[in-house]
Amino acid sequence: GQQLNQSPQSMFIQEGEDVSMNCTSSSIFNTWLWYKQDPGEGPVLLIALYKAGELTSNGRLTAQFGITRKDSFLNISASIPSDVGIYFCAGTGGAQKLVFGQGTRLTINP
């Protein structure tokens, strides 16, 4: 089945630094989604990408749908304490069932 490899698994940064994480797939995806999960909560959708090469921003967050359709990245600029959490990439292929990456745990030192 389809699998996603998300990296890094964890990040420890200083407040104000930029963050970059990515996901790669063993097969082509039609849609890439990025979610954030706060402790004790369910994942919340941050950005959705629908076309290869698409670059989309949501405030300090920017995500891109790779032109090969097998990867995506998420950047966070000028991190702040509320950015702490677990970030998940997810994608759908032809079967329309969402596949999730393992998550990137972001910790920020003030």
Partner 1 sequence: NAGVTQTPKFQVLKTGQSMTLQCAQDMNHNSMYWYRQDPGMGLRLIYYSASEGTTDKGEVPNGYNVSRLNKREFSLRLESAAPSQTSVYFCASSDPRGPTDTQYFGPGTRLTVL
Which positions touch partner 1 (CB under 8 A)? 1, 4, 6, 9, 30-31, 33, 35, 40-45, 48, 50, 88, 92, 96-98, 100-103
Question: Dihedrals φ, ψ of 41, to 5°?
Answer: -125, 170
* Minimum CB–partner distance for residue 72 and partner 1 (Å): 13
* Minimum CB–partner distance for residue 63 and partner 1 (Å): 14
Quick one: CA dihedral 57, 58, 63, 65, positive or negative?
Answer: negative
Whichever of 10 and 57 has its CB closer to partner 1, that residue is: 10
- How far is the C-alpha of 36 from the C-alpha of 11, rounded, in Å? 14
